[in-house]
Amino acid sequence: MATEGTLNTEAVQDNGFDFLYKGPKGPKIGRRHIQILLTAFGTGIIFSTKTMISLLLLAITSQQSSNKNIPYYPSIGVNSGMVMSSILWTSMFFQLFSGHVGKEYGSKWLILATASLNAVAFCMIPTAASIGGTTGIIVCRLIQGVAQGSYTPLTACIGGAWIPVEERSRMGYIGTIGITGSIIVATLVTGIIAESPIGWPGAIYIFGALNGCWCILWALFGYNNPDVHPSITVEEKMYIKTSLQQETLTKIPTPWVKIFTSIGVWGIILSQIGSNFIVTMLSTENSQFVSLGLKFDISENALASGLPTLLSIACGVVMAFLSDYLITHKILRIVNARRCFQMIGVTGAGLSLVLSTFVPKEHHYWVIPLLCLESFFTMACMVGGSDISGYDLSPMFASVIYGVSGTLSDAVGLFAPLIVDWVVYDKSNSSQWTLVFGIAAIIGITPSIFFVLVASDKRQEWGDYHAPPENIRRLSISSITHAVVKE
C-alpha cells in the first residue's frame, strides 16, 4: 500500500537504468524547451565567433573583398596557428571553476556577463589588428577565451537543472544544433561577406551584434532552474524534479576529492579530451586544408565546410531520438548507449578525417562526402556519447565535471593548430596533412576506448540528492498527485 511521500509506480518507473517519469509532463513545448533553446542559440553564436577565425584569417591575410579599401595584413598569416589556438590559452583556466561558481551562486547573470564580454572582445578585432597586428588579434582572442571558457560550464548548470533523464539525448541535441548551426552560418556567411564590399570587418560586426541581441533575450527570459521560473506549470516542474530526483534550491558542497577520484569521471574527461581534439582540428584546420591543400577558393571553402554540417543536422535528429528510444524501450542500457555512440562517433570522425587527405586535387570535390561523414560521426559523439554522460553520474555536479573536462580538453586541444604549424610546412602537401590528421585520429580514438571500459550510468553517491520526506509531502499537497500519492 502506498503511503504519503512515496513515489507512484504509475508515475515513476524503475527500468534498471534510472527513474522514468510516467505522469503528466506539462505542455508539449514547455519552459524547459525554451531554456535549452535559449542556451543553444547563445552557444551557437558564441561558438561561431570562435570557429569563424579560420575563414577570417584567409580574408585578413589576403585581399578577398571587392572593396579594395578593406585592409588586409599578410604578416598575420605567419602565425595563424598561434592566433587560432590563443583562445584556448585562457579558456581552459576559467572552465575549471566556473561550473562550481555557477552551481553555488546561480548561472543566469554569470552567463550574461560572459556572453557580453565575448561580444565586446570579438568586435574589437578589426581595431586591434590595425593597431597591433598579430598581437592585437591574440589579445582579443585571449579575452574571448576568458568569456567562452566560463560560459560553457555555466550552461551545463542550466542543463543539469532543466533536462529530465528521459530527454537527455534529445535536449542535448538541441544544444548541438546551436553549435552545428553556427558552423553552417559562420562558414557560409563569412565567406560571402568577406568577398563583399564590407569585407571581413563587416562579418565580425554582424556576428558581434547577434551576440549582443542574444544577451538581451537571455536577460529577459533565462532562468536558473524550475523553482524560480514564474510561469512554469506544476506538472512540468514535478516532471523535471522527479525525473532528476533532486531539489534545485538545496545547496550541497562540491565534493572535489570524490569527483577527482571517480573512475567514471576520468572516463568522461579523457574521452572528452580525445573527441575535443578531433573537433578542434576540424574547426580550425579543415578550412586551411581544403583551401591550401585541395585548392578551393574562399566561396568553395565555405560550401565545403557548411554543406556537410547542414546534412549532419538532419542525421543528428535521427541519432538523438534513436539514443533515447534505445534507452526508454530497454533495448540498451544508458551506459551501453553512451559507449556505442561515443566509440562509433569518434572512430568514424577520425578515419574520415584521414581519408579526406587521399582525395586527388584534380577531383577535389570528392572530399565533400568525406566531410559529410566527419560531421555525421562527430554528431554521434555529441548527442549520445560522453558529452552527456556527466548528467548520468550527477545532474547537480555535471557543470563541475564538464568544467574540469573542458579545462583539460582545451589544454590538449590548443596543440591541434600548433601541430599543423610544426608538421605541415608545405600546406599543399597532402602527405603532411595525412600525418597531422592521423595524429588527431589516434588522440581521439585511444581515450574513447578507456571510456568504453570504465563508463557508468549509476548516479554517484557523492552527486545524489533525494528530496527528504517533508519536501515530498509538501510537493504532494501542491496537487502533484501523479508523482506522489497519499493513502
Q: What is the pLDDT of residues 417-461, one digit of tens each?
A: 778 878 887 777 778 888 888 898 899 899 999 999 998 888 787
64 contacts 191 by C-beta, under 8 angstroms = no
Q: Does CATH place domain 20-485 in 1.20.1250.20?
A: yes
CA distance 240 to 168: 12
Residue 416's pLDDT is what? 80
> Phi and psi dihedrals of 11, rounded to 5?
-95, -40
12-14 and 19-21 strand pairing: antiparallel
Residue 380 has pLDDT above 50, yes or no: yes
- Report the candidate in 384, 426, 461, 399 with the shortest Cα–Cα distance to residue 150: 399
Cα 212 off chain centre by: 20
Residue 208 has pLDDT above 90, yes or no: yes
- CA 32, 35, 39, 45 torsion: positive or negative? positive
CA 326-329-331 angle, 5° bins: 55
Place of cell 576540424: 282
> Which one-letter DSSP state was computed for residue 333?
-
Burial 288-318 (b: 16+ CB within 10 A, else e): bbbbbbbebebebbbbbbbbbbbbbbebbee
| Mean pLDDT of the residues in the chain | 78
CA distance 127 to 374: 35
The predicted-structure confidence for 23-58, as pLDDT tens digits, reads as follows: 778 888 889 989 988 998 898 889 888 878 877 887
- Report the candidate in 209, 173, 174, 216 with the shortest Cα–Cα distance to residue 189: 209
Residue 77's pLDDT is what? 67
Residue 107 has pLDDT above 50, yes or no: yes
> Phi and psi dihedrals of 145, rounded to 5?
-60, -40
Residue 205's pLDDT is what? 94
| Of the candidate ranges 167-176, 262-271, 291-300, 308-317, the one whose mean pLDDT is the lowest | 291-300
**What are the grid coordinates assigned to 33, written together?**
524547451
Residue 111's pLDDT is what? 94
Residue 17's pLDDT is what? 43
Q: Compare 372 and 199 and report the one with higher pLDDT.
A: 199
**What are the grid coordinates assigned to 391, written together?**
548528467
List the chain domain ranges. 20-485
Task: Give residues with Cβ within 8 angstroms of 406, minimum separation 6.
Answer: 91, 92, 95, 96, 149, 152, 153, 272
Residue 185 has pLDDT above 80, yes or no: no
The predicted-structure confidence for 95-104, as pLDDT tens digits, reads as follows: 878 888 887 7
Residue 23's pLDDT is what? 72
CA distance 98 to 151: 8
Residue 110 has pLDDT above 90, yes or no: yes
| Type of residue numbered 482 | H
User: Which helix (H) or strand (E) is 386 found in, with range?
Assistant: none
Residue 475 has pLDDT above 70, yes or no: no
Residue 279 has pLDDT above 90, yes or no: no
Residue 463's pLDDT is what? 66
Q: Give the burial class of 79: count Cβ atoms within 10 A of its Cβ; 0-12 exposed, 13-18 middle, 19 or more buried.
A: middle
- Report the candidate in 328, 324, 336, 460 with the shortest Cα–Cα distance to residue 398: 460
pTM over 0.95, yes/no: no
Neighbours of 27 (CB within 10 A): 12
**What are the grid coordinates assigned to 276, written together?**
575535443
